[in-house]
Homo-oligomer: A and B are copies of this chain.
């Protein structure tokens, strides 16, 4: 057997994404040993029972010193304290990455804790389902999907190449970009859609009881497409919105202007404006199908 890419990978937080990555790494023989640190006893038990990792711990002091790759998979709001907790145990040459949905805040909150000689390469896989917890992990979650890396100026080339190899081996396409650019792109592709979905599902459930039961019954008419993403983890999404405030507020503003335009066209019976707007969006769907991201 050839030497695996990494000796020991330590996950800080073993939820949906952490477990999926652990399963993929295991499937492709990319590490000799997988460890997980998680504050939740349930998550630790499940991860161990399902054999997702080889050993679990609640204390980073017992797991981090062995790792040559540390993957932080906690909600973004917890990442500053994670950095402080793991910093004393990181050894020179280790790569630290994360899977957070915002990148400027991760650089701001985790960056300062990373010791000299440790390679910090923030990342974000554009994949996931609405499910949470280690039991929902899927080995092929990242297959055909994008992994964005936002290396900082002066990042060690060898470390970046090694991390890129890991993601490519498990089937992802890797793209590097600036943290700020990442946050702008994700504000429109992910953060706004989730906020809108949460909003519309909330609006529907606030209706009088009789109507809101019919909303469930007749959800196949469009509504159910929103409920899937509105079932995503509440804490994770709270942290995303609080940590990408400026970019999210900007796209909400644009969205509201566009909605107001359509609202006005409906009020005044301006069918030509509606038809013309609706016709342009079909092309976008086709482009997504062509890009194999449908």
| Chain B CB within 10 A, most for which of A199, A232, A271, A278 | A278
- Chain A interface, DSSP helix/strand/loop, else mixed: helix
| CB of A149, distance to nearest CB on chain B (Å) | 13
Is the CB of A274 closer than 8 A to any CB of chain B? yes
Which of A40-48, A112-120, A161-169, A251-259 touches B?
A251-259
Nearest chain B CB to A44's CB is how many angstroms away? 23
- Asked if A160 lies at the interface with its beta carbon under 8 angstroms from chain B, I say no
In whole Å, how far is A80's beta carbon from the nearest beta carbon of chain B?
14
Whether A225 touches B220, Cβ cut-off 8 Å, given contacts A249-B263, A258-B199, A278-B237, is: no
Please measure, in the bound complex, the distance between the C-alpha atom of A266 and the C-alpha atom of B248, giving whole angstroms. 9
Closest CB in chain B relative to A76 CB, distance in Å: 12
Copies in the assembly, this chain: 2
Q: Are A205 and B256 in contact (CB under 8 A)?
A: no
Is A281 in contact with B198, judged by CB distance below 8 angstroms? Answer: yes
Convert A222-251 into 0s and 1s, putting 1 for each residue whose CB lies closer than 8 angstroms to a CB of B. 111111111110110111011001001101
What is the distance, in angstroms, from A222's C-beta to the closest C-beta of chain B?
4
A225: which of B193, B202, B263, B275 is its contact (CB, 8 Å)? B193
Residue of B230, B249, B284 near A205 (CB, 8 A) is B284
Given contacts A196-B259, A198-B277, A220-B293, 15 further A-B contacts (CB under 8 A): A126-B218, A148-B218, A189-B218, A190-B221, A190-B222, A193-B200, A194-B222, A202-B281, A203-B254, A216-B287, A217-B291, A227-B284, A227-B288, A234-B278, A252-B259
Residues of B within 8 A of A77 (CB): 271
Residues on B with C-beta less than 8 A from A222 are: 189-191, 193-194, 197, 229
Count A interface residues, CB 8 Å: 92
Contact with B along A176-189 (1 / 0, CB 8 A): 00000000111011
**A108 interfacial by beta-carbon distance below 8 Å:** no
What is the minimal beta-carbon distance from A193 to any residue of chain B, in angstroms? Answer: 4
Which A residues are within 8 Å of any B CB, using their own CB? 77, 101, 126-128, 130, 145-146, 148, 175, 184-186, 188-207, 211, 214-232, 234-235, 237-239, 241-242, 245, 248-249, 251-252, 254-256, 258-259, 262-263, 266-267, 269, 271, 274-275, 277-282, 284-288, 291, 293-294
Q: Which of B220, B221, B248, B255 contacts A203 (CB 8 A)?
A: B255
Q: Are B284 and A188 in contact (CB under 8 A)?
A: no
Q: CB distance A281 to B227 under 8 Å?
A: yes
Q: Please tell me if the beta carbons of B220 and A277 are within 8 angstroms of each other in the complex.
A: no
- Contact in complex: B245, A285 (CB < 8 Å): no
